[in-house]
Amino acid sequence: MGHDTYRPVTKAMDDDFGGWGVTAIDALSTAIMFENEDTVRQILDFLVNLDYNRIEDGTSIQLNEVTTHQFGGMLSAYDLLNGPFAHLVPQQDLRDGLYRQMVELGNVLSCGFGTPSGVPRNWVDTALCTTDDALSNTIAGAGSLILEFARLSDITVFYEYLLKAYIYDSKAYAPYLERWKLAADSTIRYIASHPYGHPEWTLLPRWNGRDIIKEMDAPCWFAGGNFILAGMITGNQTLIDFGVSIADTAGALYQMTATGLGGELVVWTTDCSPSFKARFDLDECNSSNSVQVTSPEYKLRPEVIESWYYAYRATKDLKYREWAWSAFKAIISVCETESAYSAISDVNAVNGGKELDEMDSGFMAQVLKYVWLIHLDVSDDTAQGRLCIRLLTRVQDQAPFHVKDSRRGSGNMWVYNTQGHPLMVAGDPV
């Protein structure tokens, strides 16, 4: 457990997050919500004895990655274990130990903010409380710190966090929602793209200077859920419809592969240009080939299932649950190894191609959690619904950590960070 990344084929371990047990701590909130008491206590016993001044295989850690994975996981565990899942860990010493470590890690990470501008640098030497000399950071990297440090002060990907910071405290972060709305409006007006033959599909290209590059990588699918969430809390149906169109596009693309899973990168054409046909050796361009998977690996990414969860919460359309369950079964079919689950090389090969011997910690932090959440409904009488409800024995009637649709009169008491860790909101539920 003292290592970070597990290689599920060779059963080797890597310490790419300082040797601070990122996979275990990333999985902690999922284990709590699943009420897996033995696993929760095992992780906590490990966590309370960590030394954040010691880094394996180096001297520095990456600020935004450690914040969203480990720090976010610890904050979420603290909120869950002092809220709806307090019965799992009645021992005060373990809760106190989690609190102390949470504050200690927050102090360590705060070293990254020692810059003239106040914008944090990305690499921190925890023993010396110094940073690298880099003069730049991404807005996603800096923005990813908002929720976690705001939550810590109350206890003691950038535009995504603008919206979620508003949900966390709608009064303190009211301007963030307006900033998010401006970005969302620009995305809908100027960035959204619809591939040839599919005006109902929505993809988000990237920009290179003034040029639009019609390609979208797997992590970008989170945008569907982010737009839907914004629509639910503001009552804006346009935002919901836009997010749903992204989620539906992912569903269609998953169904087009041999494995039922999506690749790392897709490209598309809106006009069937000669260059597109030449690139993919197409005699003719039509609705069945206007989107192409150019990086066919599946790396146990959670973003598509995350967006389906938000889509289901907004629409109650059962297709999103069916898609999530089909994807889960596909993962079991082609990604399962003797000891865990592995990324695969080719979603268009029936058996998934080669096992890549990679398992991102987000698989347990998010994939398993969102598959469970989308089926967590006391009115669900399907086999998978009954299975998910059995995992939640004491708080199933309330499930307060569910994303709420404000249009139906219920505000959000929790908000999920970018790694799928639920944090208790500080302000009035929205």
The domain that contains 376 carries what CATH number?
A: 1.50.10.10
Is 342 found in the same domain as 378? Answer: yes
Instruction: Characterize 241-271 residue by residue with b for buried, 16 or more Cβ atoms within 10 angstroms of its Cβ, and e for exposed.
Output: bbbbbbbbbbbebbeebbbbbbbbbbbbbbe
Q: What's the confidence (pLDDT) of residue 251? A: 99
Pick from 155, 171, 189: which residue ends a domain?
155
Angle among Cα 319, 229, 231 to the nearest 5 degrees reads 100
Cβ atoms of residues 314 and 228 within 8 Å: yes
Instruction: Characterize 88-107 residue by residue with b for buried, 16 or more Cβ atoms within 10 angstroms of its Cβ, and e for exposed.
Output: bbeeeebbebbbebbeebbe
Q: What's the confidence (pLDDT) of residue 65? A: 84
Q: What's the confidence (pLDDT) of residue 117? A: 58
- Number of domains the chain is built from: 2
Is 260 found in the same domain as 139? Answer: no
Residue 418 assigned as binding residue: yes
Task: Tell how far CA 108 is from the center of its chain.
Answer: 24
Pick from 114, 136, 155: which residue ends a domain?
155
**Order of all β-strands in the sheet with 265-268:** 215-217, 265-268, 291-295
Is 165 found in the same domain as 151? Answer: no
Read off the pLDDT of residues 359-411 as tens digits, 9 standing for 90 and up: 999 999 999 999 999 999 756 556 665 666 555 555 544 689 999 999 998 89
The active-site residue, picked from 37, 65, 264, 322, is 264
Distance CA 234, CA 410 (A): 12
Is 279 found in the same domain as 174? Answer: yes
Which residue shows structure tokens 């709420």?
404
Q: What's the confidence (pLDDT) of residue 397? A: 46
Residue 131 in domain: yes
Pick from 98, 129, 155: which residue ends a domain?
155
Is 14 found in the same domain as 101? Answer: yes
Q: Which residues of the chain have pLDDT under 70?
A: 1, 58-59, 114-121, 126-128, 130-146, 149, 152-157, 378-398
Q: What's the confidence (pLDDT) of residue 131? A: 67
Which residue shows structure tokens 């300082």?
18
104 is catalytic: no
Cβ atoms of residues 324 and 374 within 8 Å: yes
Read off the pLDDT of residues 287-301 as tens digits, 9 standing for 90 and up: 999 999 999 999 999
Cβ atoms of residues 63 and 145 within 8 Å: yes
Q: Across 218-302, where does the E strand assignment appear?
A: 265-268, 291-295
Number of CB atoms found within 10 A of residue 136's CB: 8
Burial class (CB in 10 A: 0-12, 13-18, 19+), 133: exposed
Residue 430 in domain: no
Is 195 found in the same domain as 338? Answer: yes
Which two tokens mark 115? 């810059």
Is 149 found in the same domain as 59? Answer: yes
Cβ atoms of residues 320 and 374 within 8 Å: yes
- Give the domain extent around 311: 158-424
Helices and strands counted in the chain (H then E): 17, 12
Four-CA torsion 270, 273, 277, 280, nearest 10 degrees:
-60
Is 170 found in the same domain as 140? Answer: no
Residue 82 in domain: yes
Residue 117 in domain: yes
Q: Report pTM.
A: 0.91
Residue 404 in domain: yes
Is 143 found in the same domain as 162? Answer: no
Is 356 found in the same domain as 240? Answer: yes
Residue 429 in domain: no
Is 411 found in the same domain as 347? Answer: yes
Is 227 found in the same domain as 135? Answer: no
